[in-house]
Amino acid sequence: LNPKYVLPDRKTVREMIKKKFEAKKKDIKEIIAKNDSNINFTTDVWSSLIKDPYLSLTSHFIDNEWELNEFLLDVPYFPHPHDASMVCDSIEQILDDFGISEKFHSISCDNAANMCFAAEMLCEKRENAIHVRTRDLSFSKRVVSSHLFPCFKLIEDHLRCCETDQNFDFIKDAIVDMKDKFLAYWEKIIDVALICHMLDPRFKKSYLEGKVLKKRATDLFKSRFGSYESLNLNSQAETSSDTSTKEKPKTLMERMISKVTNTKNNNDDEINKYFKQPPIEFSNETNVLLWWKENSKTFPCIAKMARDYLSLMPTSVPSEKTFSIGGLTVDENRTKLHSNTVKELLCLKSWLN
């Protein structure tokens, strides 16, 4: 060590942290602004060693290079009351701060009543927004949303088997209660689970059994595809109107027939082509996002769906991870850290990694 080096005092270190935080936050905002896919979120509430409450909001999205990104957006000090409206308002403030309120696609949280109600409030304000509540589903650096359907289907089959097994008659009432509670929750998320599952080229429709389920999945996929196709057509129409002034305008009837015919053909062609291809090999080395990057031009509209749905987090583990780091940050030797400093340290830890 250099004996002439003078350690910076507390105020200097505080200013260094703040300056680095502001600079890095600006970089994160620019990265998110350049991304044209929707964003999924995880959230939770935590109390530090000295009982200071904090709210976390983490973003998850697939960028333009088909890389899965995870950014902790904020960990604000969150005093009581912790009711749903307060949670909702705090999250809305963070979304507005980063300018991503319109990109909200889904939010995952634990089963705490206030968090669930807050998530429902956030989703009610946005069309087609999704609220998800659920060791195979806990990774934040790989695609796991497509595993929801097979995992939950396995649980359902196991509960139904136990319900009819005479060896479990002594706890049959408990099993029936478990099954009913599970099915009530499963019905709330099965649609998003099916879409994520079919968007994984390793699965597609391989694990869908029965005509009723297959029809439900197919109709659901076509419906969501239609929504994305409409957005794509509107975008193309705006572009063509700026560049194709030389073409002779068509009559109203011709334009209507052309739009309906082209949309139907495009829908059928792209969807049929995608599902006619056999699923790719399933292994730990298979990179789903790389496959989509290489095939995004072949399936342009389905690829947009994949970018939104495959970055969805089926658990709130990323938020739990943030608070595990928070427990190491606000330890017995740092109980007097200001809440702003705690927030900046936790965000920097996420951003610099």
pLDDT in tens, 90-115: 999 999 999 999 999 999 988 888 99
CATH 3.30.420.10 segments of the chain: 1-140+313-352
User: Tokens representing 257?
Assistant: 């027939």
Q: What is the amino acid identity at position 343?
A: K
Q: Which residue has the tokens 């936790």?
A: 346
Cα–Cα separations (whole angstroms), residue 190 to 60, 227, 308: 21, 19, 17
CA 353/CA 335 separation, integer angstroms: 25
Quick one: fold of 1-140+313-352?
Nucleotidyltransferase; domain 5 (3.30.420)
Residue 245 has pLDDT above 50, yes or no: no
Helix residue ranges, H only, 109-199: 113-124, 148-164, 172-199
CA 191/CA 34 separation, integer angstroms: 29
Q: Is the peptide bond before 314 cis (omega within 30 degrees of 0)?
A: no
Q: Please give the average per-residue pLDDT across 218-241, as a whole number.
A: 74
| Residue 194 near residue 218 (C-beta atoms within 8 A) | no
Q: Please give the average per-residue pLDDT across 31-47, as a whole number.
A: 92
Q: Please give the average per-residue pLDDT across 332-345, as a whole number.
A: 87
- Per-residue pLDDT band for 139 (boundaries 50, 70, 90) equals low
Please report the pLDDT score of residue 42 as a whole number: 92
What is the three-class DSSP state of 71?
strand
**pTM for the complete prediction?**
0.79
